[in-house]
Each structure stands twice: as C-alpha cells, then as structure tokens.
Amino acid sequence: MALNMLMIHPLVLAKLEVGQHLYWQLGGLKLHGQVFLTSWFVIGALLLVSFLATRNIQRIPSGLQNFMEYALEFIRDLAKNQIGEKEYRPWVPFVGTLFLFIFVSNWSGALIPWKLIHLPSGELAAPTNDINTTVALALLTSLAYFYAGFSNRGLGYFAKYIEPTPILLPINILEDFTKPLSLSFRLFGNILADELVVAVLVLLVPLFVPLPVMVLGLFTSAIQALIFATLAAAYIGEAIEGHGGEEHG
C-alpha cells in the first residue's frame, strides 16, 4: 500500500506541473500570471546586477564589474564566432539578452524553492518551464534572423528558398518553421524534465540522492542556455551570409 502511494504522488505532482496555471484576465486575453511573476523576477535580478556592476566603473575591474565584463566578453565571442567578424556587433545585445535571460531563468528553477509560495491555482516555476515562454523566445529568434537576412540582402534574401534548385522550395520553407519549433521544445522539454526528476526524487528519497541530480541540473541548465543562444546566433549568421552559410565559418 505504501509503495502504491509513493507511485501515485509523482504522477499527481507531474500533472500539477504541466496542467494548472494562475491566469490573469486582461480584456479578451488570458495571461499566465505565474509566468509573468517569475519572468519579472528574472528581469529584475538582471537589471539589479547590471546596475550594481556599472554604477562605479573602474579602469581596473574587480568584483561584480569584473564578472560582468567577463560575461560580456563571453557573449561577444559567441556572437562573433557564429555571425562573423564584420556583422556580429549589432547582434551582441540580442544574443546576450537571450543567453542571460534563459540562463538566470533556468537557474532560478533549480535554486529557488518557488513551490513554497502558494498561489490560488497552479504554482510558480522557472519561466522556461512554460512552453509559452520558450515559444516566444523562439519566435523572437525567427523574427531576428528574417530581419537580419532581409536588411542585409534585400529581396535577394528570398532567393535562398529556391537554392540550389526550385524543387527544394517546400523543404526550405519547412526548415524555417522547424527552427523555432526545435528551439522551443528542446528548451522546454529539458527544463521541465529536470524539475520533475528532482521533485520526484525529493519525494521518494528526500535527503541525499537529489543533491547530485540538482548539481547536474545546474550544469545542464547552463548548457541549454548556451545551446539556445548559439543556435540563435548561428541562424542570424546564416541569414546574413546566405543559405547554407557558404561564407560562414
């Protein structure tokens, strides 16, 4: 009987994670309130750290300023490697915002006990634990690489859909739909799976076993942020330089 109860509890927990939400009604729109709350927390944390790191800039950086300059250099190198030496600079803020928002969101789900905060319905979790957030980020990425391609190549950008032969037109169009889908579902699936695994292990073996899994979750969360930002930058670089990235290194 006890074993049956232990098997039922994770299923109930999983159902609660995926299916129930706190909704806000705004006119004819229904908004996921819990996603907005945690997203605002992440945005506020990023703004606060940015303010503290830049309020007293020194010629020889130290402390938080040194950390932020290292993060900026890391993002700049990521954008340069994927987009190219000549075109990467305007895209550093976009790629950096994607990376930092996803990174802090993922880690907030692993480090902050959101579920201790009770809501009228649903429960708080990392913003990237919701498919709406990851799809929105993926659609922003799609808009970014369409804009990059069109602004750099004009109407010639659309020639990519019939290269190297017009027969590939449907496949090339389908590819542009699968890019945001793969980005959003990869990020959502990994973050949701990690949180569910930790929750189930805490329920079953509440003391020592979940700790290594939580550490592994922090690592994989960081990797997921890096993968998303790298692929977004790669798509932008491909759109700028041409289909298939003939010149892209």
Question: What are the tens digits of pLDDT across the range 19-61?
Answer: 567 778 778 887 778 888 899 999 999 999 999 988 888 887 7
Minimal CA–CA distance to 189: which of 238, 138, 233, 236?
A: 138
- In 3-state terms the chain splits into helix, strand, coil percentages (rounded to 5) of 80, 5, 20
Q: Give the pLDDT score at 5.
A: 35
Instruction: Please say whether the beta carbons of 148 and 50 come within 8 A.
Output: no
**Most confident option among 18-22, 99-103, 166-170, 245-249:** 99-103
Q: Which residue has the tokens 């970014």?
A: 144
Q: What is the pLDDT of residue 2?
A: 36
Collapsed DSSP state (helix, strand, coil) of residue 123: strand
**Strand intervals (E) in the chain:** 23-26, 29-32
Average pLDDT (155-182) is 79
- The whole-number pLDDT of residue 160 equals 77
Residue 201 has pLDDT above 60, yes or no: yes
Top pLDDT among 94 and 157 is at: 94
Specify the higher pLDDT residue, 169 or 21. Answer: 169
pTM of the model: 0.81
Comparing 7 with 217, which gets the higher pLDDT?
217
Secondary structure string (H, E, C) spanning 182-206:
HHHHHHHHHHHHHHHHHHHHHHHCC
10 Å CB burial of residue 55 (0-12, 13-18, 19+) is exposed
Q: What pLDDT sits at residue 72?
A: 92
pLDDT by residue (tens digit) across 141-163?
999 988 988 888 787 777 777 77
Nearest to 98 by CA among 225, 239, 224: 225
Three-state SS at 27: coil
DSSP state letter for 28: T
Per-residue DSSP letter, 118:
B
Confidence tier at 234 by pLDDT (50, 70, 90): very high
Please give the Cα distance from 130 to 191 (Å, whole number): 9
